[in-house]
Structure 1
Amino acid sequence: MTNTSTNIPKWFTVVAVLALLWNLMGVMAFLQDPGATPATPIWVTMAFAFAVFGGALGCLLLLLKQALAKIILIISLASVLVQMFHAYFISNAWEVFGPGGAIMPVMVIVIAIYLVWLSQMAMQKSWLK
């Protein structure tokens, strides 16, 4: 029987660790969020929670080489999109932060998309079980 962990490149583990750390910073931001006011709809707060906790769990599952990572990371991406939709199309984030304020949200979306792609690629290469 072949040990699949020997077939997984080291860069995959490095990327998964960095992505886990990135998402743990999101968890910390969620737990310390001073923006959670009574004016913030509960569905936005829930989307934020699903985005960061799902991202962290999905990255942990990547490290554990579990195929469930893909589904969790898709849920995280969808939650990021819901949260950003509210921030930039429903609330007044553009007015508050201006165009420069779009850098971090775009980066968050790109990383979330990348993690879904990475999990899909890892499944195709049979790195996840």
Structure 2
Amino acid sequence: MNKAPVWFVVVAVLALLWNLIGCLAIAADLAVLASGAVATLPAEQQALYAARPAWTVIGSCVAVLAGAAGCLGLLLRRRWATPLLVASLAGVVVQDAGFLVMNSQAPLPMFALVMQGGVLVIAIALLLLARLASRRAWLG
């Protein structure tokens, strides 16, 4: 196994933090759903929750949990990071498909669409980083 450059470790740490923030966001979202607090939200947000298919929530959970585990794998320089980041990207794609369905039923704010596009780009970049790390023997 070759020594990984410093920039790789920095990117892996930032990516892990990004995914951990995603885990917190999903936990907060699930808490709102479980507590019935959706009824206290403004009507626009209630409409978004009502339009969201359950499978998008599963996709979101897979995206952030596999993403966080995959980024931890990058930091630990383990090959299992790559399949986890593939699963994370798949979760993001499922989540994006859900956003398309939701947008047809209740238009989403532009910020949400732009943010979700950024999430997709980051998930792709992390998978490419893992593949690069494998090719350069930074993962073992």
Equivalent position amino acid for 1:126 in 2: A
Match of 1:12 in 2: 8
- Residue matched to 2:58: 46
> By how many angstroms is 1:58 displaced?
0.2
1-structure distance, mates of 2:117, 2:82: 21
- What are the ranges of 5 or more consecutive residues in structure 2 without an aligned counterpart? 39-48
Q: 1:37-69: per-residue Cα shift (whole Å, max 9, x none)?
A: 684433221111100001000000000000110
**Residues matched between the structures, number:** 123
Residue 101 of structure 1 aligns with an amino acid whose one-letter code is A
What is the identity, as a one-letter code, of the residue corresponding to 1:72? L
Q: Whose RCO is larger (CA < 8 A, sep 6+)?
A: 2
Q: Distance in 1 between matches of 2:67 and 2:122?
A: 10
Is 2:63–2:88's contact at 8 Å kept on the other side of the alignment?
yes
Q: Give the letter aligned to residue 20 of structure 1.
A: L
Q: TM-score if structure 1 supplies the norm length?
A: 0.86
| 1:55 and 2:67 matched | yes
Structure 1 pair 100/46, CA: closer, same or farther in 2 (3 Å)? closer
Q: Which one of the candidate residues 97, 108, 113 is aligned to 1:96?
A: 108
Deviation of 1:101 (Å): 3.0
Cα displacement (A) at 1:102: 1.8
Q: Label 1:96 to 1:102 Cα distance change in 2 as closer, same or farther (>3 A).
A: closer
Taking only aligned residues, the RMSD between alpha carbons, in angstroms, comes to 2.0
Q: What TM-score comes out, normalization by structure 2 length? A: 0.80
Percent of aligned pairs with the same residue? 41
Q: Distance in 2 between matches of 1:49 and 1:13?
A: 25
Q: Which runs of 5+ in 1 are unaligned?
A: none
2-structure distance, mates of 1:108, 1:70: 17
